[in-house]
Structures are given as structure tokens and as C-alpha cells.
């Protein structure tokens, strides 16, 4: 099944339903939106258009894209319009009776292969499914506001949900650009379970006189690294929603979760919180301890005592859904688990129904960090080993810990006799979007370029092990790959891509050059002229173009990608080291000729003059850092006469100079802020 050819239905055209539907349509799905009557449908359509108009005004969409999105949407008051949908998402009022009546109707009306999903944040999936004759197709998909913009979705299987329904729903979420996390069918699922008590504790701090609203707001922003504190967030999302969520959790889990009485007159008076006043910085530490203590207690209980989710998904939910820079467990590791234990112990003394989780006691008494898996490895029944990067919110960027975990994961599979071949994949919209540039900036500012060189040398050594592994290693390219990610892809024997896949080497545009084998393996794949084009212009090529020039070995539809990767992994075939090809691929003769003869100074000055078909691409070289471009060009040309090992050594040898340059700091520190101004120094 090609997921982009299926139709998705949404029942409920309010703020959530309209946003959910808009996201599906934006990502290319045919989308049907249904509500109780034509007036409700019309309001939903107006909501979508208003949001898209805002996107056009902010240049997120073009007017043509806006009309294309609306053209993929059908609005109707007739539930029969949902016939033929592969997935129908319910986004109606949080009333169990209303939801059950709707699911009873949909279950009888729609074919048994249609997956029925509830967006509930308050009820069990099992409670919604109990009225259905086919509860195996009922699942929870809990989206976060605003669903057209927030990438997080919690995927919840009920006790009778089939594996097929769960898998298909999960893949549809990934196909529409969401970041799914797996949650047990439990009160509050994952994120609301610790987020609602966080809001509640903020109110209790005010009620008890520990701090006023302005102080709690400022302390929360500073300690959690967020743009809005708890009270402003409640104002934006709706104070009654917090009251409803806390009431529901309180009924299920006890007094600690029940709503603070301070919220009732605000909701009753249809007011918002008054955020005015001057914060008292002397009280920031006390506020932070209480707020973090609540989050740490709930999160640890959620993961270790109740096993609602994994530690990694708990942190991911906070980072993606709440946009916190750090999840609960990373925050505990950073402050020290002993300090986290003290904060939770203080909380337990205050609230009789709060216990200190044993997992936190065990680690906190020794001040040992929680192990957070950023890279996972497994061996499936057919002998395929699968390595997965699990940092979708950071586009799976490489840093010291990620590379270390990748090394351990790869070495374990390479040594495992049950593993016949290895597939490397990334969660989310990227395979690997290069190295974590923040790490580079921090080391340059600390005058520790040697640490960068050690990191690169270690990564290069790991990629060399991947390169020479006797088992086939496959890059599953289902999204963006940049810099170090593209270098990792080319260290694999085979690159198998979906149409969403792309590769690029943007390093010379940020003052450095590819240092994990990119100058060497790219040339051995596509030839010196095309490697010069890729690295010196930073041009990103899609999967189709990548296949045409030799970067990609096969392009298949998204729904066939897993099977194709397994086929290559189990083929027994590996790729031997080879010299760069010396003849151009079909359709790239003119580019090959141009990049064979154009001198680097002319390229950097924009004086290629090879015709309008190529000049637009080649002009991108004029924005690159001269020192980096000179170094990269020399390394690429070296591949014609040296071994891979010698070329890799030369790459590493040049890194101290390039990372010590002014251009490197300029390019790395301005990334995403402004266009760098390179001086050639």
C-alpha cells in the first residue's frame, strides 16, 4: 500500500480536527473532514484556510501550495463521505458517551479494514473500543496543539488493537511528518501525565504563597528553557482544558493529580491568568526545585513502575510535544541524579500519596545517570540487523554520544552470528542531518580543536569498520541526509532510498569540509568531477538524481523500502573499494566536462560561464568558504591517485587547520541565524 494514495478521514472540524486534517492534506494525503452539519463543516474549512493564509503571509506556503492543500481536502456533513478511508481520526468533544456513539456508528458504517482512531486525552482507548464489533482496528492517536504544527503524536494500542492496525497507523504518522511515540493505554498517556501535574504544581506554588504568578512564570522559563511559562501556556491553550485534564487524572490517580482550587474561579469567571508583576529572582530556585521534582517523580514512575513508555520516548515527548530543550531524564542526568532524588524526596514529604520511585533511589544514591539510548540495535528473525537513530527532533545529528552508541551497536551486530546483514535507519524526517554543529562551536570557543579532531577521527574509524564489514550494510534513506549523514551513507555498501531521500554535503558553506570520508567516498562513487560539484556547491540531490549519478543504488516507493533494504542486507553482497569512475553518467556529460576543467578560483568567483543550465547550480560555490573549498578540492582530486586509506588520513590531517580558521567559527556560529561572511582566513 502506497500510503500517499490512501484517504484519511477526520471527524470533527474544530480547532484540533481542522488542524489534524490540514496536516494530512499538507503532506499529500487525500483528506475528508466531517462534522455534524454544514455550518460546522464551513467553520472548519474557514479555520483551515485562515491557518494556511497565515502560512502564506509568513512565506511558509506559496499561494499555489495553499490551493493545492485545500484541493486535497473534502468537507462534508455526511459520514458516508468517509467510505474508503484507510484511517479515520475522531476529534470530537471530550465526552465518553459522544465518542462511543460515534465509534459505534463508524464501526458499522465503514469497512473492517478502516482503522478507527480516537484523539482522546482523557479516556482509555479500550473504553472507546468496547462499543465496536471490531475493536481490533481501534487505536489511540493523541495529537498535540497545534496539530498542523506540533510534530508529536502518541500512538496508543488498546488491549485488543491488532499489530497490523498499530503498524499501519504508525507508518501513516511517519508519512505525514509526525514524530510518533508508543504509549500504553494509561491515564494521561505519556506527556500529559507529567505536564498536567507541572501546571498544577505551578498553581499550588502561588496558592501556598511560595511565589506569585510572575515569579513562577519567569522561574519556569529560565529553568526549563521555554518561551512560555505554565500560566501563559494555560492562557494560550485554554484554562478550562487544564481543569478538565487535571480532574480526569485526579479521578484515576489520586489527590496529587487533582486540580488545584486556584484554577476554579479563573475558569468559572471565564478569565485568563494575570501575568503582570515583577519576578522575585530570590525565589527562582525554590520554584524550579518543586516544578522539576514533580516532573522527575512522575516520569520515573511512568517509565519504571508502570512501564507506560520507554525512557527515550518520555524524553522525546517532552522535547517535541512541549518543546522543552531537555526531557526529564536528560535533565536528571545533567543536574545529577542525586540532586534529582533530593528534589523528589522533598516532594514526597509534602504529599502523602507521592512515593519516591525505586529506580530513582537506586541511581540517585550512587549519583549514576540514567542510560538513554540514542541508537538502538536489534536482529530480526530473518537475520536482518537493524540499527536505528532515535533523535528525530534533532534530525538524528551526530555528536560524541551518538557516535559512541552507533559504534557499540554496529560492533555488536557485526560480531553476532545470527545477524546476516545490517540496515541503518533514522527516525523521523531525516536519516542523519550531519554532525551537531553546536558541539563544534563549543569546542572552538573553548580553544579545544583537538577534541573536534578526536571526534572526527573516531567517527572516521567507525565508518571504516562499516565500510570493510564482511556483512552487507545498507543505508535506508527515507529522508534528508546531510554532511556526516551522507558520509555514513556512503560508508555503507548499499544506499536504498524512497523518493523522500536526499543527500548533500553542505560543509564548505559553513566554513569546513567533509571530514568523515566525504571527499573520498563521494569521488569513488560518482567520479572526481561530480564529487567536486557536490562538495564545492553544496548541492543537495534527491533520490532519483542520486541514483542517476551513482550515489544511490535503488529507489523504491516508501511502502516497499523496508523489504528492499532487507533484500540487499540478506544478499550476501558487499561493495569493494574502487577507484573513481572516469566516464560520466548519462545525462550528466555537460556537468562532468565543466567540473573537469573549471579551476577553483574561477568557480569561487562565479566565472564558470558554462551556460544557463549549469550556472545556477555552480554559482552556489561563490557563497562557500575559500579555505574549506581549497582543502576539499585538493582532497577530492587526490582520490584519483591514492588509496582510500591515504585519502582518509589526509582528510583528518587537515582538520586542525580548518577548524582553527576564522571562517570555520563564522560559518558554524551563524548557522540558521544569517548568511556567513567568509574572509578566507
Secondary structure (DSSP) of 567-595: HHHTS-------PPP-SPPTT-HHHHHHH
- Range list of H helices, 351-483: 358-366, 400-415, 437-445, 449-468
CATH code of the domain occupying 375-669: 3.90.226.10
With beta carbons less than 8 A apart as the criterion, state whether 661 and 533 touch.
Answer: no
- The residue ranges of every structural domain in the chain are 3-183, 191-366, 375-669
* Residue whose entry in the numeric block shows the C-alpha cell 583537538: 450
Fold that domain 3-183 belongs to in CATH? Rossmann fold (3.40.50)
Q: CA Rg, the chain, in Å? A: 27
Q: What CA–CA distance (Å, rounded) separates 267 from 641?
A: 75
Give the dihedral of Cα atoms 102, 107, 111, 113; nearest 10 deg.
110
Model confidence at 609, pLDDT cuts 50, 70, 90, reads confident
Count of C-beta atoms within a 10 Å radius of residue 177? 15
pLDDT of residue 3: 58
Enumerate residues 6+ apart whose C-beta is below 8 A from 345.
Answer: 356
Average pLDDT over residues 243-264: 96
* Cα 254–Cα 256–Cα 260 angle in degrees, nearest 5: 115
Q: Active-site residues: which are they?
A: 121, 142, 154, 192
Give, for 87, the enclosing helix (H) or strand (E).
strand 87-90
pLDDT digits (tens, 9 = 90+) for 393-424: 999 999 999 999 999 999 999 999 999 999 99
pLDDT of residue 415: 98
pLDDT digits (tens, 9 = 90+) for 504-515: 999 999 999 999
pLDDT of residue 612: 78
Q: What CA–CA distance (Å, rounded) separates 403 from 375?
A: 9
Q: What CA–CA distance (Å, rounded) separates 12 from 670?
A: 43
pLDDT digits (tens, 9 = 90+) for 147-202: 999 999 999 999 999 999 999 999 999 989 899 999 999 999 999 999 999 999 99
At 586, list the grid cell.
548519462
Helix/strand/coil percentages in the chain, nearest 5: 55, 10, 35
Question: pTM to 2 decimals?
Answer: 0.90
- pLDDT tops 70 at residue 4: no
pLDDT digits (tens, 9 = 90+) for 120-155: 988 999 999 999 999 999 999 999 999 999 999 999
Average pLDDT over residues 546-575: 96
pLDDT digits (tens, 9 = 90+) for 422-455: 999 999 889 999 999 999 999 999 999 999 999 9
Give, for 133, the enclosing helix (H) or strand (E).
none
Residue 149, φ and ψ in degrees, nearest 5: -120, -40
Q: What CA–CA distance (Å, rounded) separates 376 from 433?
A: 18
pLDDT, mean over the chain: 95
Residue 86, φ and ψ in degrees, nearest 5: -80, -30
* Residue whose entry in the numeric block shows the C-alpha cell 571527499: 519
Model confidence at 525, pLDDT cuts 50, 70, 90, reads very high
Q: How far is CA 28 from CA 75, 90, 400, 470, 668, in A?
A: 16, 20, 37, 40, 34
pLDDT of residue 57: 95
Q: What CA–CA distance (Å, rounded) separates 393 from 616?
A: 32
Domains 3-183 and 375-669 share a fold: no
With beta carbons less than 8 A apart as the criterion, state whether 272 and 228 touch.
Answer: no
Q: What pairing do the DSSP bridges indicate for beta strands 502-504 and 541-542? A: antiparallel
pLDDT digits (tens, 9 = 90+) for 316-329: 999 999 999 999 99
Q: What CA–CA distance (Å, rounded) separates 8 from 17?
A: 12
473 sits in the region (left: phi over 0; alpha: psi -120 to 50; else beta) called: beta
Q: How far is CA 651 from CA 577, 647, 661, in A?
A: 17, 6, 16
Q: Across the beta sheet with 430-433, what order do the strands follow?
A: 430-433, 480-482, 502-504, 541-542
pLDDT of residue 1: 53
CATH code of the domain occupying 191-366: 1.10.1040.50
- Name the DSSP class of 259: P
- pLDDT tops 60 at residue 236: yes
* Residue whose entry in the numeric block shows the C-alpha cell 550494510: 473
Model confidence at 226, pLDDT cuts 50, 70, 90, reads very high
- pLDDT tops 90 at residue 615: no
Q: Whats the size of the chain, residue-wise?
A: 681
pLDDT of residue 599: 93
- pLDDT tops 90 at residue 73: yes
Percent of the chain with pLDDT over 70: 99
Q: What CA–CA distance (Å, rounded) separates 165 from 186?
A: 19
- pLDDT tops 70 at residue 240: yes
Percent of the chain with pLDDT over 90: 94
Average pLDDT over residues 294-299: 98
Burial class (CB in 10 A: 0-12, 13-18, 19+), 383: middle
pLDDT of residue 616: 85
Burial class (CB in 10 A: 0-12, 13-18, 19+), 43: middle
Model confidence at 6, pLDDT cuts 50, 70, 90, reads confident
pLDDT digits (tens, 9 = 90+) for 341-357: 999 999 999 999 999 99
Residue among 380, 300, 387, 381 at smallest CA distance from 340: 300
Report the Cα–Cα distance between both ends of the chain, in Å, rounded.
53
With beta carbons less than 8 A apart as the criterion, state whether 144 and 117 touch.
Answer: no
pLDDT of residue 222: 97
Amino acid at each position: 500500500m502506497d500510503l500517499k494514495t490512501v484517504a484519511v478521514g477526520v471527524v470533527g472540524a474544530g480547532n484540533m480536527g481542522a488542524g489534524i486534517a490540514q496536516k494530512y492534506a499538507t503532506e499529500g494525503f487525500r483528506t475528508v473532514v466531517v462534522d455534524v452539519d454544514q455550518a460546522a463543516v464551513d467553520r472548519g474549512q474557514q479555520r483551515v484556510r485562515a491557518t494556511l493564509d497565515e502560512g502564506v503571509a509568513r512565506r511558509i506556503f506559496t499561494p499555489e501550495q495553499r490551493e493545492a492543500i485545500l484541493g486535497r481536502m473534502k468537507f462534508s456533513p455526511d459520514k458516508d463521505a468517509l467510505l474508503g478511508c484507510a484511517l479515520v481520526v475522531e476529534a470530537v468533544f471530550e465526552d465518553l458517551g459522544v465518542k462511543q456513539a460515534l465509534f459505534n456508528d463508524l464501526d458499522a458504517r465503514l469497512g473492517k479494514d478502516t482503522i478507527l482512531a480516537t484523539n482522546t486525552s482523557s479516556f482509555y482507548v479500550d473504553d472507546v473500543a468496547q462499543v465496536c464489533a471490531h475493536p481490533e482496528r481501534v487505536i489511540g492517536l493523541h495529537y498535540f496543539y497545534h496539530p498542523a504544527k506540533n510534530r508529536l503524536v502518541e500512538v496508543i494500542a488498546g488491549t485488543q488493537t491488532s499489530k497490523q492496525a498499530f503498524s499501519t497507523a504508525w507508518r501513516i504518522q511517519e508519512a505525514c511528518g509526525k514524530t510518533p511515540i508508543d504509549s500504553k493505554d494509561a491515564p494521561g498517556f505519556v506527556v500529559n501525565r507529567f505536564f498536567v501535574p507541572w501546571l498544577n504544581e505551578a498553581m499550588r506554588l502561588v496558592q501556598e504563597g511560595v511565589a506569585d504568578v510572575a515569579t513562577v512564570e519567569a522561574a519556569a522559563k529560565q529553568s526549563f528553557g521555554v518561551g512560555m511559562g505554565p500560566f501563559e501556556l494555560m492562557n494560550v491553550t485554554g484554562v478550562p482544558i487544564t481543569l478538565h485534564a487535571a480532574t480526569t487524572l485526579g479521578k484515576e490517580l489520586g489527590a496529587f493529580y487533582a486540580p488545584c482550587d486556584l484554577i476554579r474561579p479563573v475558569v468559572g469567571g471565564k478569565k485568563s491568568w494575570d501575568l503582570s508583576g515583577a519576578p522575585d529572582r530570590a525565589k527562582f530556585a525554590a520554584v524550579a526545585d518543586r516544578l522539576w521534582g514533580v516532573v522527575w517523580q512522575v516520569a520515573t514512575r511512568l517509565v519504571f513502575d508502570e512501564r507506560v513508555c520507554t525512557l527515550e520516548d518520555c524524553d522525546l515527548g517532552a522535547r517535541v510535544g512541549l518543546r522543552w530543550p531537555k526531557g526529564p531524564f536528560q535533565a536528571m542526568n545533567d543536574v545529577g541524579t542525586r540532586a534529582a532524588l533530593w528534589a523528589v524526596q522533598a516532594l514526597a514529604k509534602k504529599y502523602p500519596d507521592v512515593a519516591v520511585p525505586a529506580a530513582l533511589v537506586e541511581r540517585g544514591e550512587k549519583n549514576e545517570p540514567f542510560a538513554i539510548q540514542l541508537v538502538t540495535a536489534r536482529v530480526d528473525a530473518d537475520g536482518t540487523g537493524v540499527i536505528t537513530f532515535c533523535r528525530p527532533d534533532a534530525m538524528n545529528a551526530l555528536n560524541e554520544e551518538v557516535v559512541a552508541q552507533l559504534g557499540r551497536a554496529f560492533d555488536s551486530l557485526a560480531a553476532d552470528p545470527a545477524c546476516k546483514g545490517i540496515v541503518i535507519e533514522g527516525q523521523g524526517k531525516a536519516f542523519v542531518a550531519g554532525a551537531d554543529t553546536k558541539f563544534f562551536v563549543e569546542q572552538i570557543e573553548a580553544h579545544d580543536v583537538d577534541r573536534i579532531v578526536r571526534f572526527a577521527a573516531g567517527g572516521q574509524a567507525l565508518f571504516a569498520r562499516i565500510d570493510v564489514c564482511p556483512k552487507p550494510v545498507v543505508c535506508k534513506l527515507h529522508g534528508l541526509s546531510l554532511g556526516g549523514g551522507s558520509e555514513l551513507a556512503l560508508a555503507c555498501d548499499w544506499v536504498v532510498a524512497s523518493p523522500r531521500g536526499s543527500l548533500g554535503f553542505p560543509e564548505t558553506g559553513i566554513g569546513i569540509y567533509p571530514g568523515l570520508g566525504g571527499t573520498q567516498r563521494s569521488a569513488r562513487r560518482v567520479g572526481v568531477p561530480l564529487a567536486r560539484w557536490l562538495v564545492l556547491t553544496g548541492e543537495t540531490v534527491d533520490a532519483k538524481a542520486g541514483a542517476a549519478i551513482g550515489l544511490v543504488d535503488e529507489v523504491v516507493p516508501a511502502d516497499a523500502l523496508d523489504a528492499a533494504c532487507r533484500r540487499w542486507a540478506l544478499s550476501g553482497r558487499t561493495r569493494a573499494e574502487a577507484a573513481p569512475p572516469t566516464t560520466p553518467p548519462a545525462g550528466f556529460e555537460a556537468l562532468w566536462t565543466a567540473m573537469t576543467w573549471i579551476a577553483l578560483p574561477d568557480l569561487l568567483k562565479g566565472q564558470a560561464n558554462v551556460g544557463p543550465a549549469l550556472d545556477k547550480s555552480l554559482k552556489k560555490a561563490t557563497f562557500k568558504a575559500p579555505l574549506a573549498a581549497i582543502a576539499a578540492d585538493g582532497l577530492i582530486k587526490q582520490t584519483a591517485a591514492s588509496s582510500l586509506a591515504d585519502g582518509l588520513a589526509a582528510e583528518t590531517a587537515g582538520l586542525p587547520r580548518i577548524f582553527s580558521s576564522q571562517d570555520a567559527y563564522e560559518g558554524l556560529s551563524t548557522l540558521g541565524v544569517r548568511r556567513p561572511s567568509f574572509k578566507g582566513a
